[in-house]
Amino acid sequence: MTLVALSGAYGAGGSCIGPALAERLRVPFLDRAIPAAVAVELAVPFSDAEAHDEQLNASWIERLLSGLFAADLSAPLPVPAPARSGGDFRSATEALLLRMADDGDGVVLGRGGAIVLRDRPSVLRARLHGPRERRIQQAMRLEGMDLATAQRRQRELDRAHATYAKHFYNADIDDPSLYHVVLDSTTLPLEACVEMLLAAALALAANAP
């Protein structure tokens, strides 16, 4: 069994590294498969699950947490009304990730996977990061956007994901103890990051109980 949970800061290239790593490992890149399975679990249309999916529709996090951004993140946060309706989707995603950790193969990007699966020693947990300005430049290059748009997306999404992790899991998304591997994927070529993660995943699988 080979399961990798990737966490990527905005502009760190996770959407490129994830599929490439899955291809090298010869396992599925479980991107669209996750909301599809959640839709079946909750007996809702795929479009509903997709709209509440943390990775495919990051604007959901922004809407979900829009009332929290002014709060003190060190204090307990109230759960806004949208979180209650979105909670079923989040819980179903967590349950799916835990089942995958028991008997699945694949590469998962985002969705709190590295946090949800932190007690599963057989799952490789990796964080892709880098200096803010380098991530913005990489996002412009990879996504073909202008500087102002990349800067805005970096501010919004980094803050949204950090707040999401803190609110729902009381976790610091940049805490290195959550991960086996932390890579600066703005300085290292993306292809080199894939190779390093490939080696780490194979080594972990070979030494798994």
Alpha helices for the chain (secondary structure H): 14-25, 33-42, 46-51, 59-64, 81-103, 113-116, 132-143, 147-169, 190-207
Domain count within the chain: 1
pTM for this entry: 0.81
122: which 2 tokens?
Answer: 């057989």
170, burial (CB in 10 Å: exposed 0-12, middle 13-18, buried 19+): exposed
123 — phi, psi (to 5°)?
Answer: -95, 125
Question: Domain of 160: which CATH number?
Answer: 3.40.50.300
Check: CB of residue 123 under 8 Å from CB of residue 197: no
Q: Of the given ranges (144-148, 163-167, 179-183), which has the lowest mean pLDDT?
A: 163-167
Short-list 195, 199, 30, CA closest to 108: 30
pLDDT tens sequence across 144-163: 999 999 999 999 889 888 88
Mean pLDDT for 34-61 is 72
Specify the pLDDT at position 47. 76
| Angstrom distance (rounded) from CA 181 to CA 143 | 25
Torsion, Cα 153 150 133 176, to 10 degrees, reads 30
Whether 8 shows a pLDDT value over 50: the answer reads: yes
Map tokens 């009332």 to a residue. 67
pLDDT tens sequence across 85-125: 567 777 888 888 888 888 788 999 888 899 999 999 899 99
> What residues are paired with 81 via a beta bridge?
none
107: which 2 tokens?
Answer: 């590469």
138 — phi, psi (to 5°)?
Answer: -70, -40
Check: CB of residue 209 under 8 Å from CB of residue 1: no
**The domain containing residue 44 runs over which residues?**
3-207
Whether 137 shows a pLDDT value over 60: the answer reads: yes
Q: In the predicted model, what is the mean pLDDT of the chain?
A: 83
Map tokens 């990796």 to a residue. 126
